[in-house]
Structure formats: structure tokens, C-alpha cells
Structure 1
Amino acid sequence: MRAFDHPLEAAHTPQFFLARGVQLPNFEVPARAASLRTGLTELGLTPEVPPLPGRAALERLHAPDYLDWLRDAPAAWATMPNAGAEIVGNVSLTPEMLAQGGRRPVKPTGLAGWYTADTACPVGPRTYEAAEAAAGCALAAAAVAAKGGAAYALARPPGHHAYAARAGGHCYVNNAALAAQALRDSGAARVAVLDIDSHHGNGTQGMFWDRADVLTVSVHGDPNGYYPWFVGYAEERGTGPGEGCNLNRPLSIGTGDAGWLEAIAEGLSAISTFRADALVVSLGFDASEHEPLNALQVTADGFARAGAAIGAARLPTAIVQEGGYNVDLLGTLLARFLGAFGEKAPG
């Protein structure tokens, strides 16, 4: 298996995180990537540095104005009196506003509310560089999958909460969605995305909501009590040509290995029925029993069993890193997952 990592991930060093009205240190820090690299070393994998993607690759799914904002907004934000070091929105765009003719603002504060979904995606001076590099890792992994192989992208910051024109939940550019689109562009007629992060892959769902060529499957904590709160329910099945091409398996808070693995097996069955030509895995370790944002209770053995089950599908696969914030364990969990995946994956 090949692996990809880019040193520009360390350019993104978010400080702000709001939880239950309390400001905390952000969990999505460069130490995450350092821990994941130890897992690659344990497996004898030396990650390659991919090229940065061209703007056209990002615009396959992301709106140009959003990408411009992500790149340019920090400089404008810094010109405001008493501005914080990071962009964090303090106004929210609502459906009522849009229905009544709401329009894109021009000032930095309004733009932050227009382009971000929550307070968990602070944008710093070099966030765009890191997000661009993360997308490059995912696209490099997709290129390997397009040739029938399997590869891992150490994508930081993660991406599955990012919509076409909105950041959210630590995510800015949707790395897994871009990988799926790249596989389609490379000739795969049907691509599946299997998201096993403990949070619903709402951005990925949104990007492919009305498409029949990409099946999106997400196994996650019940959004009745867990981020992203508003979507991620079983009745969400897609619309128009995409009706039936979205599958959510929300799990009760506290679900352990057995229930989690059963839901993944159901997802793999749907992927088989869909007759996917290639697979993208959104790999999050925040389902771990030792996570600071824990909702599920998955053990290290559970992650290894998931890796073996997904590898047994024997599909060309791009594995894209999403969440997981216990920096003491991330490397171990990655080694367990990839090690078991590799035993079953296509040569």
C-alpha cells in the first residue's frame, strides 16, 4: 500500500473550539498527524509527498467564491479593529433569511457566517494552504485506486463536513468527496464512499445528494445527540437521480464493536449491490472508546476487524483520514486498521 502526507498540514494550527458554551483548546492539531505517522512507520510505510492540486481539481466540487474566501479572508479579517487571530463566525445564516432574499455579505464578519456552518472551523492565516495539501493527499490516493490499487491519505485538516461552499466541523475542503469525483473522472462508472468516522459525513452526503453515480454510506453516532445534529438520519436517501444512493446508519450513543461492525457490514452489502467500481473510505478514529469527543465505544480490535472487512471487498480503494483526536492512540489504531485491511485488499 502507498501512503501520502504533506508537510503543509502543520501550517494549520487552530486554537479556538467552543463546546457547550465553553471555549476549549482545539483538538484538531498537528500532533494528530505526527501520531498517525508513527502508525505508518510501524507498518513500514514511508509516506510520499504529493503535488498540490490545481485549482480546477478543487472546483470539481467546491464553489470558486468559497475557495477564494478561504484563501483570502484571513487578510481581510486581520484589518478589522480588535479582530481575533482566527476567523470564527458569530452570525448564522438561516433558511428564513435565504427564503426572503438573503444575499452574500461583503464585510468579513458577515462572510464568516455565510461560509461557515459552526464555530468548530476556525480559519487561520494558512488554513487554505493546509486544506489544499490535504486535498492533494486524497487525490494522490485516488490516482492509485484508479489504477486498481489501494492507498492511504493522511489528510489534515479532515474534510467530510465541508459542503461545496461551507466549512464546518474542523473541515474546509472535502477530501473524500474530491477523491470520489477524481475516480469518476478517471473512468469508474460507480464509486462508493464509506464513512466510518463517528460523526455523520454531512458534507459528502450534500455533495452527492442528487447523483446516481456515487453511493454515500455513513456509519455514525445518532445525530439526535451528536454533531452535526440536523442531518444524518436513516430516512435521508437522496433526491432525483440520487434517490436511494445515500445510506445512513445512525447508532445509539455508546454502541460498541458489535453494533458498529454490523452497520459497516450493512454498508458493504449496499456497496456490493450498487456494484461500485471503486471505493473511498472516510476513516475516522473518533469512534474509539478512548476519544475526547467519544460517542461510540469501538476498541482497537474493532478497528482491525473493520479494516479486514473493508479490505475483503477487494475494491480499488482510497482511504482518506478524517477525525480522531486522541494523539496518544491514533498511530496504533491506524496501524491496526491498515494492517488488517492490507491482508485482504487487492494486490
Structure 2
Amino acid sequence: MKKMLLALALLAPMMMNAQNKKKGPKTFDLIVGAYNTDNSKGISVFRFYAETGRLAYLSQSDDVPNPSYLCVDKTNKFVYAVSETDNGEVYSYSFDPKGGALTFINKQKSAGASPCYISVDEDRKHVFVANYSSGSFAALPISEDGSLKPAAQVIQDKGTGVNKQRQEGPHAHGAFLSPDEKYLLLTDLGTDKISIKKYDKGDSKPLEPAPVDFVTVSPGSGPRHLDFTPDKKYMYVVQELTGAVTAFEFNGGKPKQIQSITMLADGFKGAVGAADIHVSPDGRFVYASNRGDANEIVTYAINSENGMLTFIDRTPTRGKAPRNFVIDPTGAFLLVGNQDTNTINVFKRDPVSGKIGNMVASTPVDKPVCLKFTPAM
């Protein structure tokens, strides 16, 4: 009996180590898109240490003007970025997760003006681009070597909204694949529409109308970004112009609105500029950022029975214009890119309560507007 207890005691640390290894990596690369300044001219890469929340600079690519949004393919070997200019372009890079280096492959026209969003499917067949100023969306095929081909399909939105200053025409703001990648959802700030397209990755023109062609939100809302729960049941859309979050049952590509909840504090009278939204990895919480005069992250709890949101807390981002933010893959931290104060601030996050805690680190980065994680080697 004593020998058995001794053996178990000796095995216990080994079992603990094995369990810790199964929890996944603790080191990641953070790839940052930004608007160009004299000090920053492209995409930056940082090493993120999930035990502490610390960021360490690795590299920078200086060959893309205004890389305001980017995406990483599922293999973590390729990065795609928009160049938000009047003559919009899309850039492709190979990525070395060991050293964090980006190597330019090629570029193509985005088939519109001021591209501000890009996404890629899991099989790396297409990237999807939202061209803000021209109000158009484009699908660009991808070659085996990761290079981009010219746009295979362009969808031009039409219409206006009630906000004459911001909705004088269509303004494409996002192109989001559904979790099963059967649909592409296109948000248009200028027309208050979320268009829905069926996606066939094997087709030369991969997008076609879905059974429900589009859904609308309240006039003057300005839908910007959206995210899904991991179980694919619910979709949450952040409204830039009104500072609201709109909840939908996704219904297999036939969204049904179930709620609209404000991001604004009682009595708030300042400028509104809601920007980004993310569902927590466990599907229990929604986080949304508001720029303008608020400069905060708002936290909601998700009712697992019906998808409805309940306000939990609001957290100042300790900077101005939190255009983009991200939850780290471990769920322990939330990182915010404050565009106008040139910082990426790292906050502790409580996975149980969902609340955002103290800021644990701040890294200077000029005009950070897009943050994407990928595993480091």
C-alpha cells in the first residue's frame, strides 16, 4: 500500500504537467493594423505573453498604406490586409510564426474605394472585402501559394439612410462569414442593411442571394461589425451611429431580431461612435467598444436560453477612440487599440463574471486600429 501511495505521489506532478500542456499555448503573436504616420508605416507584430499580458515588439512591414484591417488564415501561414485608400488594394503576406516576420507576396485592387474590412474562409479559397466609400463588397480568389487573384465578384449596394451626414449613400463596413461558412453577412452603415449571401467556395462567382436577402435595423443605426455565439444560434451587431447592440436569432441564415440594447450610460449626451463587438470564447458574454466621448468597453451577459443581453459593466479604455479590441485566446485578457492616443492597453478579464479588471500593460503603437491573434512557435 505504501509503495502504491509513493508511486502516486511521484506521478502526480507528471500528471499536472501533462494537464497544463493540454491547456494550449501561452505565447501568441499579435498582428496589428494601423493608419500610417511618420513613425508607423505598416503592419506591426508583437509577441504576447499570456501569463502576464505583456507585449514585446517583433517586426514591422512598411510596404502597405493604411492597413486598417487584416485577417489571418486558419493555418496561420498567411496574412491578408486592406489598404484603405481611394484606390483601394488588398495585400497578401506569408507569415513566420517563429520570428513574427511578414513577407510580401502580392497585391490586387479591392474593386472599390477605401476598403475597411477583410475576412478569409477556412479553406483559403477567397478573401472578402468591404469597400466603405464606394459601398461595394468584393470576393477575391486565393491561389495555392497564398497569392491573391483579381476580384471574381463585386456586389454594389445602393440606397441611403436618414442620417444625411453619414448615410448619404451606401457605406460597406464588414463582410462576415457565418460559423458554418454557408453564408456571408454584409453590413452597410449607409443603408441600415445587413445583406445575406449564400457562399459556394467552389464556384467561380461564389456569392448568390440567400433565401432572406437582407435584414434591416432601426433607421439611422449604422450597422458596423458583428459576431456570433460559438453554438451558431445568435448574432450580435454593433450600431455605430446610435451606440446600440442588436441581437438576432440566426435561424440558419434567416436572422430574426430579438433585442436592441443601448451601450450608452443613463443621461449620456456626448458624441457616439460605436465600433467593435466580440463574443467571449465560451459564448457567455458580449463586449462592444464605443469611441466618441465615451471611450469605453461595455459588457453584457448572454442568456443561454434565448440569446437576450443584460448589461453588466462599462470600462474606460484609458485612451481615445477604441476602434478595435480583442480577447486573447486564453480568455484572461482583453486588449484595446486606442487609435487617437496611440496605445494598445491590456486589461485583465474575469472569465467567470465577465467583468474587465485592471489595466496590466500599455504598449505605444501609432494609430492601432486592428488587432489579430495567432499562435506563436
Fold equivalence (TM over 0.5): no
- The structure that is strand-richer by fraction is 2
Higher-Rg structure is 2
- The structure that is helix-richer by fraction is 1
Q: Which has the higher contact order (CA 8 A, sep 6+)?
A: 1
Scaled by the length of structure 1, the TM-score of the pair is: 0.31
Scaled by the length of structure 2, the TM-score of the pair is: 0.29
